[in-house]
Amino acid sequence: MKKSLGPQTLAFPLPAYLVGTYDTDNRPNIMTAAWGGILASTPPCLGVSVQPPRWSHAAILKNQAFTVSFPSSKLAVEVDYAGIVSGKKFDKFKGASLTPVKSDLVNAPYVAECPVVAECRLYKTLELGSHTLFVGEILDIKADEGLELDGSALDIEKVDPLIFNRGGEYHRVGTGVGKAFSIGKSLIK
């Protein structure tokens, strides 16, 4: 018997994305976002939701582009900082000692210190009450060398991504519990 917690924004796991933009003064900025995810395969779509008053909202609309940098767990302090302060008042790249790299595909910067990044052109938007969902078409994924699991897939333990828990702590990824598209075959009868 489960108990009711009411209508809350809970899901497991939640990401801690660093959304990169050039702001309205063309300065590189990042915003921490836990609302978003992969939303389609063709075209490859990555969505992030941003409240209209946020500094990054106007920046995404102006440039019709954004990046998402996937931080490793060792960047937890920097990620938390980028979620607490506004780019309107703070140079967050400088404050967090992070390095902006201009995408060669869209007008947006990514975070050099993150192991994997996605460069997105704005594909569609959807108004969802408090937030605007910005759906980006992933034009490229860029990753540090040496993160491969095999020929193509990236090893999540090497990427060591940060996981957000609403109201609680950031966490790392833990142990593996079985191969996807494989372990379930044992139940097919």
Binding-residue total with a copy of itself (CB under 8 A): 105
> Site residues for a copy of itself, window 109-148 (CB under 8 A)?
116-118, 123-124, 126, 128-131, 133, 135, 137-145
Q: Could you give the CA distance from residue 189 to residue 186 in angstroms, rounded to a whole number?
A: 8
> Of the two residues 25 and 145, which places its CB atom closer to a copy of itself in the complex?
145
When asked if residue 53 is in the footprint of a copy of itself (CB under 8 A), the reply is no
Q: Could you give the CA distance from residue 166 to residue 33 in angstroms, rounded to a whole number?
A: 12
Question: Residue 95: how many CB atoms within 10 A of its CB?
Answer: 13
End-to-end CA distance of the chain: 30
| Smallest separation (angstroms) from a copy of itself to the CB of 62 | 22
Which CA distances in Å does 128 have to 48, 50, 52, 105, 125? 12, 10, 11, 28, 10
Binding mask 58-77 for a copy of itself (x = CB under 8 A): ----------x-x--x--xx
> Site residues for a copy of itself, window 8-37 (CB under 8 A)?
8-15, 17, 34-37
- Altogether, the residues listed in the chain come to a count of 189
Q: Is 76 helix (H, G, I), strand (E, B) or coil?
A: helix
When asked if residue 49 is in the footprint of a copy of itself (CB under 8 A), the reply is yes
Interacting span for a copy of itself (CB under 8 A) from 20-28, 57-65, 153-161:
153-161
The CA angle 47-126-33, to the nearest 5 degrees, is 35
> Site residues for a copy of itself, window 76-105 (CB under 8 A)?
76-85, 90, 95-96
| Smallest separation (angstroms) from a copy of itself to the CB of 45 | 5
When asked if residue 163 is in the footprint of a copy of itself (CB under 8 A), the reply is yes
> Of the two residues 17 and 22, which places its CB atom closer to a copy of itself in the complex?
17
Question: Tokens 């389609």 identify what position?
Answer: 40
